[in-house]
Structures are given as C-alpha cells and as structure tokens.
Amino acid sequence: MSGWSGPPPTVVDVGEFGLIAELRAALPDAAAESPQVPIGIGDDCAVWTPSPGESVVVTTDSLVEGVHFRTDWTDPASLGHKTLAVNLSDLASMGAVPRLAVVTLGLRGDESVADLRTLYAALGVLAARTGTVIAGGDIVRSPTALVLHVTAIGETVGGRVLTRSGARVGDVVAVSGTIGASGAGLALLGLDPDDPRRQAATADALIDAHLRPEPRLELGALLLRSGATAAMDLSDGLLGDLPKVLAASRVSARVEPGRLPVAAAVRAIFPERWAELAMRGGEDYELLFTAPPAAFATISAEAGRLGVPVTAIGEIVAAAGPPEVLLVDGNGEARPAGSGAFDHFG
Amino acid sequence: MSGWSGPPPTVVDVGEFGLIAELRAALPDAAAESPQVPIGIGDDCAVWTPSPGESVVVTTDSLVEGVHFRTDWTDPASLGHKTLAVNLSDLASMGAVPRLAVVTLGLRGDESVADLRTLYAALGVLAARTGTVIAGGDIVRSPTALVLHVTAIGETVGGRVLTRSGARVGDVVAVSGTIGASGAGLALLGLDPDDPRRQAATADALIDAHLRPEPRLELGALLLRSGATAAMDLSDGLLGDLPKVLAASRVSARVEPGRLPVAAAVRAIFPERWAELAMRGGEDYELLFTAPPAAFATISAEAGRLGVPVTAIGEIVAAAGPPEVLLVDGNGEARPAGSGAFDHFG
C-alpha cells in the first residue's frame, strides 16, 4: 500500500533548488503554465488576471503527517491528489471555479525525490483536469513531520458565491454522492491487514474514497446557478458540518437518518457502525446544501446527468431556540442530535 | 526576551473553535473587515473583489519552529509581525499592493491562548497598517513544532509588476536600507547572554532588525512607477539573491563591497565578520533592485523622502559566460563571488 520506497537521491542530496526544478518538471504542462498566469514558479509571487467583473475566492488547507495522514496508509500519488482535492472541494462548495494554487512542502530532507515527484505529478494531474495552475509555493524544512500546505484560488461565476448563511425554512437539506465511505475506509486502514473485513471485495473502494476524494466542482457550479440557498463541503461529518450551516443561517433542520445515502458496502462491512460513520465519519468531501423544493428537483435531475446523484435527507425548519439538528425516527418523532465537529484539539 | 509565558487556558482547553473566536477577536477591526472582502473568517473560502483592470499577486511563506525561529529567541508579538511581514515583503518586491491574507497555525495544543492572542494581535496591527485583511485560514495540529503559514494576496497598480528578469546592461544595482543587521541580530541571539557584544548599546536594534523586519511596500510601489527594471526582496543574502536576478535577466553584475550600506553597529560589534554578514547574512527583507542611472537618481531622491534610503552598490554588465556576481576591490580588480543562496537542505 504505502509506496514510499522510492530510490535515491533524497531531498538532501539534490538540495532545495534542485528539488524545485524536479517538481516543476513533474507537473503536466497544463498545470504549470497558462496565459492567465503569466508569472508563476520562479519569481517572488505569482500573478494572475481574473475574468472581468468576477471576484476572487481563496481557501487554504493543510495535511500534516501523523495528524491527517500516515505514510504507511497512503501512497505518494494519493497524497498528492488529496492535498489539492480538499482545497478544490472548498471552492466547489461555494460554486467557484479554480484557477491557481500555491503549494508548500514541509520536508525532513530524507524523503526520496522520486516519491515527491510522484506526489507532485498526481497533484498536477488533478490540477490540469480542473483548470488549476500550480503557480509556485515554498519548500521548507520540517523537523519531524511531512507537511503539505495548499492555498487554492478561484473566481466567481456571475459575481456570486454560495455561503453557509442562506438556508431558509422549507428548504430541502441534501447531500451529494454517498456519505460514510471515507470514514469506513479510514476504519479499514486501522484494522489488521488479515482482518476479514479488509478482504471484502468492496474494501478497496472504501479505502479509495478516503485516500482520493473527488472535489465536486461541476456540482458546485450547478448548485450556484440552479438556486441552492446554502452549501458547504462535508469534511467534519454531517453532524459536525450541518450545525455550521444552521448557525450561520439561524435555522434548525429535521434530518431523517433512514434517508442518508450510505453505500451498501459501508452497511455490509460495518453493520453496527454504519450510521455513526455516515453521520460523524468525516472527510467525505461531498457537498451538503439546501435548496427550495422546486430548485432541488431541477438540481436533482441535472446532478444525475453529471454522474453525481444528490439525495434529500431532511428539511429546514424554524429554530425554536439555538439552531439544532433534529433526527427524525421511523415514527416521525424528533430528538436533537448531539452535534460535534471534529476538533483538532478535542 | 522570550515572553512565551502566558497564563492558562491552553489551546487544548478552549478547543479549535474556541481558539478561532479568540484569534478573530484579537484582530484590530481594520484587519478583520473590509467592504472589499465581503466574506472572510467563518466560511469555506474568503471572497475578494480586485480593482477593475488589475491583476492578482500571490505569495506564500512559512515559519517553522526550530528552523526559522526559536521561541527562546523571539516573543509572540515579534513572531506574529514577522510572519506577515515576510509575505508582504514579497508583494513589495513586485510593486504590488497587499489586500488580504490567510493564516494557518500549526499548533501542538499546549500553547497559551494568551500568547497566541498576542501573536495574532501583532500580526493584525501590521495588517491594518498595510491595508491587509486577515480573511481566514486554518488551524491544524502539528505534532512537535509551532508552524505559521501565510498566503498573502495583493493586486497590481496599473496592471504591471516588477520581476527578476528585467535587469539590463548599464543599470545601477541598488539595495534599500542597510544590509547585514538581521544576520548580526541572529548572531547576537546565538551568543551567551553575558557576552559583552550582547551588552553593546546597539545590540537591541540589530536583534530587532532580525525579529521585526519592515516590508518595503512604499518603496516597491515607488520602484514600479519610477522605472526600476528588476527587483526582489533580500531573504537569502545579497550573494544568494542577486544571482537569481542575474540568472533571470541573463546578465552579470559588478558589485563594490566598499559601497555596501552596512550599519555602523554591525561593523563595530562584528569587526571581522561584517562583510560576510552583509553579503550572506540573509533575512534583511530589504529590496534589491536594478534601474537605469536616470531612473535611479529619481528613485534615490524620492526614497529619501520615504525615509528608506537606497544605495547604489554596482552595475549590470554583459555576461561573458554564465551570469555571475563580480566583486570589485579597491584597485578596480574584479573576481567572481562564490554564490550561495540559503538552501534549507544544504
């Protein structure tokens, strides 16, 4: 699995400037150059000209070894993909179009240059596929842990973005794709390799969902143009993230756990934990959004054509007190869900 | 000196979301809000509208404990200032105007929240003074080292930037302020506190030059509008950085060490090392630039009025072979300088 076994030379062997040249060469052309980004890698700053009338959308996210990933659980290519994907997911959640990114690597120095080239090439493939130019960055020494840090920059379409604060009473609450697969994949990685659950035919797909999330850029654009009222990406689990939308919008939500789109593989491999994985698993990088019913119908039809189905899981209701998530059981009875975003220090 | 002795609570005590609220409250209003940045801290992305017709200028720089700073050598406020300053210095070197920044903190969890508030407040003071909105960021756990990561975003003035590639034969080579003070300050911090050199009346000013560099934003704007041909900021020392300008511009330079603006305090405290500190010391964050002689005369006069004097230290000449720095001695004889940028892994 791990794939961190590249041959010499190491980073120390080639030095900082040698490594910059190697990484630049590892990028696909379409990720390294663009007429819209006339100045990129090699100067003090990158320069980019947004489309006239559009605003700039900025997000930043880091992956730290031992906190966000383990090198014995992921391979260089998957890590490179995910590093950019989690940032593009934030742009997707606002309906923005990615344009460029700057990447900082924090390295010990004993890493294989070949592994880092593999990491960067995979990051570059996702960049090229999404129209993102890797416009520079920084390489610094990091004493103990590999650190990957990205700032992704995009632009609005029609001058607007989706935020967390627009959910209104009566809106449908929905999610894209399935939820819980990433959490299930992470749980599988934590099992003994001989555990029969690791051997399930569908285990690799769940692990892949954890290691290589797909940013929902086309869906985000669809949500923006089709009248969604609020959106965010699911990084901290449904019960971690939905309360952020509710707080920003000052409303509550009724959610029917029976309607959650949970992959059959998650239910099959974790029959006693699937609901928890779906609601609190985190790192799905699917989009959570709200929309009036008519708009939701349009979105649902078009999302199917994009190959990214969306599922209604509940509705927005007026908040009687502080905004909260109400879980509705099969008898129609509602009880407040204990919220709980992932807290790095919790 | 260190000042990292804030009272409880710690980061673990207040949690990730409690800390975000504390840090946001520590920012001056002018650093936290702006009509140009309608969406900042608290959503998935920041949104900013550049001035019509201008391009976006992006830079990113990290400070890692044990690599770029030591908590027994710097205090929280100085570290907050420097974290933003080194990024703004990159914008200054291209003649860009800063507009917003996103800040990522990598924390162990045992840090005092009061210390981090102090750090953030100082960062915010520099942000407010320079028109930079702190528009969000990220807080992650970092297993062993405190990490500060900033991406700063600015915009062009008149659609143009200064790059490293415009130096032409006959141009004056010049630097702003004095050089070597930061390297001398760092050397002083490494001495025993009882060392008589630490007791010199001017020692604190040199240490301050290392801990609290001032980004030369007004000077960068002046260089751009007054016909400078190339510029960069001095982070890796004159003999580390000037070769980057020469390589990008495909020219060589003759530099007269006798003309280097080295503070009297550096010469006095380090009589045997001052030239090395000035040429290889690094982290001066002054601007290195080239300009035709007539433009240099204009720049010199106006820079004096800004309170940031500039000094001609040599001239651009045709490269006989690979671009190189030629050091000219008192007899007019030139010899190639061994170059040497700071290499994180050298």
pLDDT tens figures, A73-113: 999 999 999 999 999 999 999 999 999 999 999 999 999 99
What the block records as the tokens of B189 is 């911090």
Q: Which one, of B149, B189, B317, B178, lies nearest residue B261 by Cα? A: B178
**Per-residue pLDDT for B280 more than 80?**
yes
Give CA separation, A341 vs A175, A177, A338, B141, in Å: 17, 20, 10, 15
Q: Between chains, do A147 and B93 touch, taking CB under 8 Å as contact?
A: no
Average pLDDT, chain B: 94
First to last CA, chain A: 30
What the block records as the tokens of B143 is 């297993």
Out of A143, A149, A345, whose CB is closest to B67? A143
Closest chain A residue to B86, measured at CA? A44
**Per-residue pLDDT for B343 more than 80?**
no
Out of A39, A143, A145, whose CB is closest to B161? A39
In this prediction, residue B339 carries a pLDDT of 52
In this prediction, residue A38 carries a pLDDT of 80
Q: How confident is the model at residue A43 (pLDDT cuts 50, 70, 90)?
A: confident
Question: How many cross-chain Cβ pairs, A to B, lie less than 8 Å apart?
Answer: 217
Closest chain A residue to B39, measured at CA? A163
Taking the C-alpha atoms of residue B231 and residue B167, their distance in angstroms, rounded to an integer, is 9
The answer to whether residues A143 and A46 touch, using CB atoms and an 8 Å cutoff, is no
Q: Closest Cα of chain B to A170: distance in Å? A: 23
Out of A138, A144, A161, whose CB is closest to B39? A161
State the ipTM, two decimals: 0.92
The pLDDT tens digits for A235-282 are: 999 999 999 999 999 999 999 999 999 999 999 999 999 999 999 999
In this prediction, residue A1 carries a pLDDT of 47
Q: Is A344 exposed, middle or buried (0-12, 13-18, 19+ CB in 10 A)?
A: buried
Q: Between chains, do B149 and A42 touch, taking CB under 8 Å as contact?
A: no
Q: How confident is the model at residue B1 (pLDDT cuts 50, 70, 90)?
A: very low
**Chain B residues touching residue A137 (CB < 8 angstroms):** 60
Out of B42, B56, B344, whose CB is closest to A50? B56
In this prediction, residue A340 carries a pLDDT of 53
Q: Between chains, do B16 and A50 touch, taking CB under 8 Å as contact?
A: no
**Per-residue pLDDT for B41 more than 80?**
no
**Per-residue pLDDT for A179 more than 50?**
yes
Q: Closest Cα of chain A to B101: distance in Å? A: 9
**Per-residue pLDDT for B42 more than 80?**
no
